[in-house]
Amino acid sequence: MKFHVPDMSCAHCTAAIDKALKAIDPAAKVDTDLTSKTVMISSGKDAAALQAALEGAGYPVTPA
């Protein structure tokens, strides 16, 4: 799954995003790209759960 995260701007953001996603799925593979402000996630969780985790961490997202 790929999400656009417009508020992601630094390494702290990517770490917070990684932490939020791993909290709901420790086996998730997370790849963030600051240049395009996107995050690719490989997870057993559904897109709604991942989006809720990101928004709960303060990062509103849209599917990319």
For residue 37, the model assigns a pLDDT of 96
Q: Using one digit for the tens of pLDDT, what is the confidence trace for 20-60?
A: 999 999 999 999 999 999 999 999 999 999 999 999 999 99
Q: How far apart are CA 4 and CA 21, in angstroms?
A: 15
Q: What confidence score (pLDDT) does residue 22 get? A: 96
Q: How confident is the model at residue 14 (pLDDT cuts 50, 70, 90)?
A: very high
- Report the SS3 class of residue 20: helix
6 pLDDT band (50/70/90 cuts)?
A: very high
Residue 4 is predicted with a pLDDT of 97
Give the global pTM.
Answer: 0.91
Fold (topology level) of 2-63: Alpha-Beta Plaits (3.30.70)
Backbone CA torsion sign across 30, 2, 45, 54: positive
